[in-house]
Amino acid sequence: MLKNLTPQPPDKIIEMIAMYKEDPRDGKVDLGVGVYKDEAGRTPVMRAVKAAEKRLLESQDSKSYVGLLGDLGFVDEMRKLVLGDAVPAERVSGAQAPGGTGAIHQLLELVRMAKPGATVWFSDPTWPNHPAIVKHVGLNAKTYRYFDAETCEVDFAGMMEDLAGLEADDVVLIHGCCHNPTGANLTAEQFDKVTALLIEKGATPFIDFAYQGFGDGLEEDAANVRAMAAKVPQMLIAASCSKNFGLYRDRVGAAFVIVGPDTELGVVKGAMASLNRLNFSFPPDHGAKVVEIILKDPELRADWEAELKEMRERMLVLRADMADALKRETNSDRFEFFRKHRGMFSRLGISSDAVLKLRADKGIYIVGDSRVNVAGLPGERIGELAKAIAGAV
């Protein structure tokens, strides 16, 4: 029976991790997978995480099961981090999930449970795992225009035109901040317009919130999501601690469902617990407990926020330096968007041939759609990288 298996299409981001590793060249640069790197090229364990792990190691006296929805203390802290007081806790059902991807998967299964064959819209382009999981769980997929390849900014008119085709009960995946892969983000006003359209059409927003704190700040990055949450009758949110807590391999995420008066919260909670049970039983505890310790302890929380701010500000400096260098090298404003974009990524808008040339000739690894991991830019080599990019276009 197993002989019937056919080769699965590789994920183009994950594929690059191996390609980069195998490249023997000394001066190679990894601008592929979205992992934060410091000035020395390391992805450190954050200070507050180390401290919380020490506490956990000393205080934990059992490894027995926690609960199907995970650690409810963690879930509630995450609810507050993501939603603030935008909606009353009594309207929110939350479940711990194995990373942001796990949360997306669980929520899409919940959509399928509520409405088999539902249609999920996502931005064109989006994180490649979105369409892959939508297909995997057997839901229908539609895309909306999002990115203007000429300006490298949001194509808002195109987005609204496409979303005008929404039907009641459709689900619309939206990046809460720090759009992956483009780095181009909706303004507060645009977010409001999308909110009004979704309400008018009876569609449900599904926020992928993987980069809170990587754009303009923890609160600033959540502002649009909270404003939308306060208005819509129902909403899905997949939050991740991979990036803002640097807990990549520990798989820490949370799935939230905000319900309206027509939906019984207890039934949603039961469905989320059941889906966890069916897929993996109990979500992994360690990283979630670490996050809970940090968020509940004022000192650790302050240190975490301070380190996250250092990371965010470093990315902003790299953005400005790269935009300056590209301006010098190309003698044009073509790459000015690099300064304006927010989050870990920017799409350069260069051809796939140019991307391949950079890889082959210079060992510079950029995802095929020309997405650059800003946090992977080595500060002291920006001039050299800008020159290579200018040369390749």
The residues annotated with a catalytic role in the active site are 127, 208, 210, 243
Calpha distance 307→243 (Å, rounded)? 12
Shortest Å, Cβ 254 to ligand LMR: 16
**C-beta of 99 vs 349, nearer to ligand LMR:** 99
Tokens of 180: 């992956």
Residue nearest ligand LMR (C-beta atom): 34
* For ligand LMR, the closer CB: 156 or 211: 211
Distance of CA 69 to the CA centre of its chain: 21
Nearer to ligand LMR, 10 or 202 (CB): 10
| CB of residue 296 to ligand LMR, shortest distance in Å | 27
Spatial neighbors of 182 by CB under 8 A, at least 6 apart, are: 125, 146, 147, 152, 341, 345, 346, 347, 371
Residue 214: CB minimum distance to ligand LMR, A = 11
Binding map of ligand LMR across residues 125-164, x = CB under 6 A, - = no contact: --x-------------------------------------
Residues near ligand LMR (CB under 6 A), total: 5
By beta-carbon proximity to ligand LMR, the closer residue of 34 and 284 is 34
Give least dist CB 209 to ligand LMR, A.
12
Beta-bridged to residue 248, according to DSSP, are none
Q: Classify residue 253 by its DSSP letter.
A: E
What CA–CA distance (Å, rounded) separates 240 from 211?
7
Locate 263 and state its tokens. Answer: 């939906």
Binding track over 14-43 against ligand LMR, x by CB under 6 A: -------------------xx---------
**13 or 293: whose CB is closer to ligand LMR?**
13
Nearer to ligand LMR, 122 or 127 (CB): 127
User: Least distance (Å) from ligand LMR to the CB of residue 253?
Assistant: 12
- Please state the φ and ψ torsions of residue 387, each to the nearest 5 degrees: -65, -45
Name which of residues 69 to 98 contact ligand LMR (CB under 6 A). Answer: none
CA dihedral 194→197→199→203, nearest 10 degrees, is -90
* 3-class DSSP assignment, residue 280: coil
Q: How far is the CB of 318 from ligand LMR (least distance, A)?
A: 17
- Do the Cβ atoms of 243 and 211 come closer than 8 Å? yes
Q: How far is the CB of 104 from ligand LMR (least distance, A)?
A: 11
d(CA 236, CA 33): 26
Site string for ligand LMR, 221-260 (x = CB under 6 A): ----------------------------------------
Q: What is the DSSP letter of 375?
A: G
Sheet with 119-124, side-by-side order of all strands: 92-97, 253-258, 235-240, 204-209, 171-175, 119-124, 140-145
Nearer to ligand LMR, 34 or 198 (CB): 34
Compute CA 187 distance to the chain's CA centroid, rounded to the nearest angstrom.
Answer: 18
Cβ atoms of 138 and 303 within 8 Å: the answer is: no
> Which residues, in sequence order, are CB contacts of 91 under 8 Å at separation 6+?
258, 259, 260, 265
**DSSP tag of 98:** S
Query: Among 96, 106, 126, 180, which residue interacts with ligand LMR (rule: CB under 6 A)?
Result: 180
Binding site for ligand LMR (CB under 6 A): 13, 33-34, 127, 180
